[in-house]
Structure 1
Amino acid sequence: MPATTQVKSNKANAVAVVFKPVESTADTPAKSAPAIARKPLSKSQPFDISARPWQDFRAQTPIDVLVIGAGMGGLATAVGLRMAGHRVTIFEAVPDIKDVGAGIQVAPNASRILERFGVLDELKKDGIMLQTLSLRRWKDDVEIGRAGLMPAVGNKYNAPLMVAHRADLQRTLLNRALALGVTVRTGAVITAIAEDFSPRVQLASGEWISGDVVIAADGVKSFVREQIAKRKGYQNGTMSTGDAAYRILISEDRMKGDQKALGLLRGVTGSRWMGPGGHIMAYPLRSNKMYNMVLIHPIRPTQQQTESWTSRGTKAEMLKTYAGWNSTIRHLLSYVPDGEVMEWTLNSHAPLPSWVENKFVLVGDACHPMLPYVAQGAANAIEDAAVLTVALSVIGSTNSIDDALRIYQAVRKARGEAIQASARETQRALHLPDGKEQEERDRKIRDSTEAATKRELGAGEKRNPDLWSDQQWQDYMWGVDVMKETLEKWSEIVLAQPTQTPISFSKRVD
């Protein structure tokens, strides 16, 4: 097995199975994989992420990284680390990857990272840059207010906001990982990890595999999180939010003759309808060929708890739930084919005291499962990937991995959990029953819209109860460059130097 894809294994003939999108084998990197320099050059020139191409960034000490899970967090982490020169293997439990999910919002805090990772241009091909978000009433479809998005948001944060199909983002990351030479082993179920959390994992086959660090991106039902919680005595159960969600996609051909529906599909406006106990978020996808809708509603008394995005709901039950909503909603829902309604319950987890245990580290939903109210689940998983990429690449030896993981937690934990908590706050604001509190919320939204219009900015100076549309919260969610922050934290915490002191990196060798 070539050095670029090697992992330490106690089975010399271990076979890795790769996903299909790029032609490659377990022992041969994808044909398009570029040569990645291993030997550092002069460390006299500091690396400035904002001034120099991310492709110039190289690890001082390439290490062997084991990643559990090929979702957004796992794939993004693999891409970033492999670009920096590390040797990366992903272990994915499913035998093959399929197009699952529906729309996903790629906010500026994620898109700036995806651009550095070399995947944003591909995602843009079918992605849509929404220009506005329209906030509307559930009963009569009256617009309460609106928030300007692109191009103002992109100009402000120097990174675009777009919507795309979740499967497109996952596939783009996967293809990028394979092209870089990441080894992806499918059907690789992790059944045990080292008791002392040294970087060793066991597969269902009985094979033990060792690396230098293990990154657990194994989702909301994380096996690694469960093991850490058991060892440390942490609370690990799920907590119901009281909500469930339908997720549907409507193709253009189903809307024939409905000019209003076609206008929504072919436009560049996202719509959020707010009602008692629930709300709906909708926008066009895939070059305006599909209309994506997420419909959040109270859990039914007899509803079974499920966190899987592939759980089936029923069209009849969905139509019954929204029978009292405006005609635009009812017409849109009528176009959904029978058997194509997905429904799952929305659950949360208590924050963990730590995301790190020895050489194991949690990322994405494994440590900060996000509710959809502020559309930051994938974006924060990508932030995790970016921070780990930088932190694990500035170390001078494997003896400093603990420092890198400490920096990761310092940069990500408080921020990730704050955004996680903001989703719950937004849930309440969006789901108010009709009455005085709802009327006050709507007034604040109108005031925020008016202020934004006068200032010609995306969200206005006045606070918006819908935090996704609130300027101050946008600045916090979208305006932070976590890669720069990681360099600053490394100077402050590890080197005990002032933040303006630059970090030196080896230059790229082609």
Structure 2
Amino acid sequence: MNGTSSSQSNGVGFGQVAPPDSSGVSIIIVGAGFAGLSCAIESRRKGHSVVVLEKFKELKIISFGNNVGRIFERWGLHDRFWPVCTHMDKLVLHNAEGKVLVEQPLQSPRYGAYSYNGHRGDLHKMLFEHAQSLGIEIRLGQDVSEYWETETEGGVIANGERLSADLVVGADGVRSRARKLVLGYEDKPKSSGYAIFRAWFDCAEQGVDKDPSTKFMCENGDTFHGWIGPDVHFLCSTSGGGRKMSCVITHKDEADIEESWSFPGKMEDCLKIVEGWDPTCTALLSKAPSLVDWKLVYRDPLPTWISKRARLALIGDAAHPFLPTSVQGASQAVEDGVTLAVALQLAGKESVPLAVKTWEKIRYQRVRKAQLTGESNRDMWHKAKSDVKGEEVSMPHPEWLLGFDAEKHAYEVYADAAEEIEERGYELPTLPPVPTIAA
């Protein structure tokens, strides 16, 4: 093999941090979302030189599973994240009439790691600040208008400036410009047939704590309730000791739209969805001062996440958008970045294309299997009968998904995966069979 064949042969093993800029590998990351920042942080830990380009001039309820919680703990972020996260001990799930179907315990830690559920802005800000504290260069206000590659480097045109590195990482989200270079064409999203109304607001300001029909959501700390009906599910939770409320209702919507997009939502449209339901649903939704109408689309799995010369890799939503019901989109994006950083460390500067191909081989089937949980979880609730038994609508917490350690796994399997590519040549990844999701 041209690359390093084990985590020990370059003197840096699992759990260790390499000296800054010691690997010789340079990376340009486009996008400072969770995928881009996580890739930058782990790449810095592995000794790579990183520049992050973000289009926003300033930075403006997300969930991270236990599989990524162990990564954040490893980065020393637990004490920062934990105080701003929700701390519910159970999910109380009702049918549309208000009958309790199941009270499902929400265990944390699980499989030896915490999960982190909180406001997207809070957690993103902390991750951004952590990246800055490590000395990672993050350039804001960068308009990346073009991607390019040669046999020896990849690059971008940002604000008219030509930049190059050993690898470009496209972490630029669902409307990724990088995707076109990888595929060689503009792929089109498809309607998922669903949309979400969502809201996030202060309980005291909106009188949630004073209304007898809603105060149960905030009088005993953080609380999590859900209601399910034909092709609809409504989730409502509080955080910050019952001070902030999140409402999310997923429903059928056949709107023909080119991409996932958010619009101001109309309360009358939202309330129409729960007409005839448990009146608690109307009471909770009516407290929202405003709504976001988020149209959900999906993309067929991309045939590849890497460019022809393997000098550009797509990660996160740019490679594989997730349905919200998977509760894994952000977590899988972090796993992408961590695994890629390890692969580049083990391959070394002279074998960057091999590292990128091996990274895709390691990640592709796992990501697809995780994606499919979004469909199975949604269908479990949306197709449930009114007399369903509680365990039949309990959210699964499979060990293969949440007990996974992306960094450790990358060290364990990299050598064999890379050797197979060197012996047989690069092959497009294959889709896994639809898995049976066990609780």
Return the match for 1:491 from 395, 415, 429.
415
Q: Deviations over 1:31-74 (max 9, x none)?
A: xxxxxxxxxxx96867244xxxx546888613211000111101
Return the match for 1:418 from 363, 369, 388.
369
CA contact (8 A) 1:60 1:394 kept: no
Counterpart residue number, 2:298? 348
* Alignment of 1:188 onto 2:142: yes
Return the match for 2:251 from 279, 293, 297.
297
Counterpart residue number, 1:14? none
Name the SS for the 2:228 alignment partner: strand
Return the match for 2:403 from 466, 475, 479.
479
The alpha carbon displacement at 1:495 in A equals 5.7
Counterpart residue number, 1:370? 322
CA contact (8 A) 1:108 1:160 kept: yes
Name the SS for the 2:47 alignment partner: coil
Q: Which amino acid aligns with 2:402?
A: W
* Alignment of 1:245 onto 2:196: yes
161 and 238 in structure 1: CA distance in 2 versus 1, 3 angstrom threshold: same
91 and 479 in structure 1: CA distance in 2 versus 1, 3 angstrom threshold: same
Q: Deviations over 1:247-300 (max 9, x none)?
A: 101312111322452322344442221111211122212343211111111116
Name the SS for the 1:256 alignment partner: coil
Return the match for 2:13 from 32, 47, 51.
47
Name the SS for the 2:201 alignment partner: strand
Gaps of 5+ in 2: 1-7, 421-439
Bigger CA drift: 54-63 or 270-279?
54-63
The whole-number CA distance in structure 1 between the counterparts of 2:265 and 2:190 is 21
Counterpart residue number, 1:144? 101
Q: Which amino acid aligns with 2:82?
A: K
Counterpart residue number, 2:55? 93
The alpha carbon displacement at 1:80 in A equals 1.3
The alpha carbon displacement at 1:79 in A equals 1.3
Aligned residues: 407
CA contact (8 A) 2:149 2:311 kept: no
CA contact (8 A) 1:128 1:268 kept: yes
* Alignment of 1:331 onto 2:286: no
The alpha carbon displacement at 1:308 in A equals 3.0
The whole-number CA distance in structure 1 between the counterparts of 2:419 and 2:202 is 55
The whole-number CA distance in structure 1 between the counterparts of 2:19 and 2:408 is 13
Return the match for 2:157 from 196, 202, 207.
202
* Alignment of 1:261 onto 2:211: no
Counterpart residue number, 2:349? 398
CA contact (8 A) 2:322 2:371 kept: yes
The whole-number CA distance in structure 2 between the counterparts of 1:404 and 1:257 is 57
The whole-number CA distance in structure 2 between the counterparts of 1:490 and 1:259 is 57
CA contact (8 A) 1:126 1:287 kept: no
* Alignment of 1:160 onto 2:124: no
The whole-number CA distance in structure 2 between the counterparts of 1:407 and 1:413 is 10
- What are the residue-to-residue correspondences of 1:24-173 with 2, within 5 Å? 47-49=13-15, 54-55=16-17, 61-98=23-60, 103-138=61-96, 140-151=97-108, 154=109, 156-173=110-127
105 and 260 in structure 1: CA distance in 2 versus 1, 3 angstrom threshold: farther
Structure 2 length normalisation: TM-score?
A: 0.86
Gaps of 5+ in 1: 1-41, 449-463, 497-510
Name the SS for the 1:394 alignment partner: helix
Q: Which amino acid aligns with 2:155?
A: R
Counterpart residue number, 1:438? 385
The whole-number CA distance in structure 2 between the counterparts of 1:244 and 1:213 is 36
Provide the aligned C-alpha RMSD in A. 2.4
CA contact (8 A) 1:62 1:86 kept: yes
Q: Deviations over 1:146-184 (max 9, x none)?
A: 322224xx1x41111231110111101100111111111
CA contact (8 A) 1:149 1:161 kept: no
Counterpart residue number, 2:166? 212
The alpha carbon displacement at 1:217 in A equals 0.4
